[in-house]
Structure 1
Amino acid sequence: MTHAFDKEYWEHHWDDRTSRTVAANPYLVQETAVSTPGTALDAGCGAGAEAIWLAEQGWRVTGADISAAALTTAAQLAQHAGVDVTWIEADLTTWNPTDRWDLVTTHYAHPSIPQLDFYRHIAQWVAPGGSLLIVGHLHDGGHHHSHDGEPPHEATVTATDITALFDASSWRIDTALERSRTVGGTGVHSKTLRDAVVRLTRRN
Structure 2
Amino acid sequence: MTDDNDSRPPAIDPAVQAEWDRRYADRPQLWSGRPNGALVAEVAGTPPGRALDVGCGEGADAVWLARGGWDVTALEVSGVALERAAAHAREAGVDIRWVHAGLAEAGLPPASFDLVSAQYPALPRTPDAAAERALLAAVAPGGVLLLVHHAGMEHHEVHDGGDDPADYVWPSMVAALLDDDWQVEVDEQRLRVVPEGGAGAHHVEDVVLRARRLQ
- Indicate whether the TM-score tops 0.5: yes
Tell me the C-alpha RMSD between the 2 structures. Answer: 3.1
List runs of 5+ in structure 2 lacking aligned partners.
1-13
SS at match of 2:89: helix
SS at match of 1:30: helix
Q: Which residue of 2 aligns with 1:109?
A: 121
Report the AA paired with residue 147 of structure 2.
Answer: I
8 A contact 1:139–1:156 mirrored in 2: no
SS at match of 2:44: coil
How far 1:149 sits from its partner (Å)?
8.3
1:1-204 alignment runs, 5 A limit: 6-19=16-29, 22-98=33-109, 100-114=112-126, 117-139=130-152, 150=162, 153-154=165-166, 155=168, 157=170, 159-167=171-179, 169-181=180-192, 183=194, 191-204=202-215
Q: Structure 1: how far apart are the matches of 2:102 and 2:203?
A: 30
Q: Which residue of 1 aligns with 2:4?
A: none
SS at match of 2:24: helix
How far 1:114 sits from its partner (Å)?
4.4
**Greater strand proportion:** 1
SS at match of 1:119: helix
How far 1:191 sits from its partner (Å)?
2.3
Q: Structure 1: how far apart are the matches of 2:142 and 2:154?
A: 38
How far 1:81 sits from its partner (Å)?
1.2
Q: Structure 2: how far apart are the matches of 1:164 and 1:13?
A: 31
8 A contact 1:5–1:111 mirrored in 2: no
Q: Structure 1: how far apart are the matches of 2:36 and 2:193?
A: 12
8 A contact 1:129–1:201 mirrored in 2: yes
SS at match of 1:94: coil
For residues 173 and 94 of structure 1, do their structure 2 counterparts lie closer, same or farther at Cα, with a shift above 3 Å needed?
A: same
Normalized against structure 1, the TM-score is what?
0.81
List runs of 5+ in structure 1 lacking aligned partners.
none
Which of the pair has the greater relative contact order for Cα pairs under 8 Å at 6+ separation?
Answer: 2
Q: Structure 1: how far apart are the matches of 2:36 and 2:22?
A: 23
For residues 162 and 126 of structure 1, do their structure 2 counterparts lie closer, same or farther at Cα, with a shift above 3 Å needed?
A: same
Question: When the two structures are aligned, how many residues end up with a matched partner?
Answer: 194
Normalized against structure 2, the TM-score is what?
0.77
How much identity, in percent, do the aligned residues show? 35
Report the AA paired with residue 138 of structure 2.
Answer: W
